[in-house]
Amino acid sequence: MAAWTWRFEKADGTEVQPAVQPEEFTTQGDAESWVGECWKELSEGGADQVTLFEDTKKIYGPMSLHAGEAQDTEDASA
């Protein structure tokens, strides 16, 4: 079974520990719902952006946790 995980980062891509510890997600929808519920606490706790992985495969990101900010991604076509 695939494991869906988030990588929490500063704006420069440096990995940081999340203010809210995520559980282990078994579906992409569960992972996205969780970050949708916790993004504000994550942002206030020092994370600027998140990237979603399925096992070791990058699905998308980085995605800004700052409301209303558009963010360019290097892999926009991925």
What sign results for the dihedral spanned by CA atoms 12, 46, 63, 8?
positive
Decide: helix, strand or coil at residue 49.
strand
User: Model-level pTM?
Assistant: 0.82
Q: Could you state, in order of their start, the residue ranges of all structural domains in the chain?
A: 4-64
Q: What is the pLDDT of residue 64?
A: 96
pLDDT digits (tens, 9 = 90+) for 3-55: 999 999 999 999 999 999 998 899 999 999 999 999 999 999 999 999 999 99
Q: What is the pLDDT of residue 71?
A: 46
Strands, E, within 1-78: which ranges?
A: 4-9, 49-54, 57-64
Please give the structure tokens belonging to residue 74.
């290097």
| CB 35 within 8 Å of CB 41 | no
